[in-house]
Amino acid sequence: MKLILIRHGETEWVRQGRYQGSTDVPLNKIGILQAHALGKALKGEKPKIIYCSELLRAYQTANEIAKTCRRDITVDKRLNELCFGDWEGRHHARIHQKFPKASKAWYAANWKSRPPGGESLKSLDLRISSFLTDLSEHYSKNSTHVLVSHGGPIRMFLVRILKIAPTVFWTIRIDPASISMVHLTLDRRELLLLNSQAHLNGYRRK
């Protein structure tokens, strides 16, 4: 089974360096162009299903892919971004200043830590593991699936599928509109592509 993991395109909050989490921020102009580029890049793929999170930025991105792959979109809330609670809407740099203790525990990938009023990595792990279990039980080993999600869930997919140490969670870079791919068999798990932006051409901010 091949999983194509897509992070949504750029939003204004991504551009400004703000935490988004469960806040429903739409794609900006660059993000819309990136979503279109993703659709073109995946035209040759034949996914069984295109899944995406409930959040608008993911759905807008998935919609461009669905047009070229000619598949419907299945929305699954388990693919939603982590809820960052009181950090949502705030700039990343200011979080380290205002919440030094919570921020240190969070970026040490402590599974039980959480932003004030937010969701823990353990909670994210449970829902991503649940999604993977359902996928493996209902689809053939030769099927391809596109998952349009967010940085947090995509990192968790990679940690769980590749069985790597959870402490590396935040060291995995997942950029807007990037493509990562993994291939799963009964006895092997392969990382085919990680955080590729080759398809974006000029629609990428440095």
User: Helical H runs in the chain?
Assistant: 12-16, 29-41, 56-69, 92-98, 100-107, 121-138, 151-162
Q: What is the mean pLDDT of residues 139-158?
A: 92
Q: What confidence score (pLDDT) does residue 131 get?
A: 97
Does residue 102 belong to any structural domain of this protein? no
Residue 62 token pair:
């998935």
205 confidence band (pLDDT: 50, 70, 90): low
Residue 53 token pair:
């999170």
**Residue 5 pairs with which residues in a beta bridge?**
147, 180
Does residue 96 belong to any structural domain of this protein? no
Q: What confidence score (pLDDT) does residue 206 get?
A: 54
Does residue 58 belong to any structural domain of this protein? yes
Instruction: Determine the structural domain holding residue 49 and report its residue range.
Output: 2-83+119-200
Q: Whole-angstrom Cα distance, residue 13 to residue 71?
A: 29
With CA atoms as reference, report the closest residue to 5 among 172, 129, 178, 125: 178
With CA atoms as reference, report the closest residue to 55 among 39, 34, 75: 75
Residue 186 token pair:
């009964």
136 pLDDT more than 90: no
DSSP labels for 181-202? EEEE-SS-EEEEEEEE-GGGTT
CATH number at residue 141: 3.40.50.1240
95 pLDDT more than 80: yes
The catalytic residues are 8, 150
Does residue 40 belong to any structural domain of this protein? yes
Does residue 70 belong to any structural domain of this protein? yes
Percentage of the residues of the chain whose pLDDT score is greater than 70: 98
Does residue 111 belong to any structural domain of this protein? no
Does residue 18 belong to any structural domain of this protein? yes
Domain count, the chain: 1
Mean per-residue pLDDT of the chain: 94
Does residue 190 belong to any structural domain of this protein? yes
Residue 183 token pair:
């291939």
Q: Which residues contact 171 (CB under 8 A, 6 or more apart)?
A: none
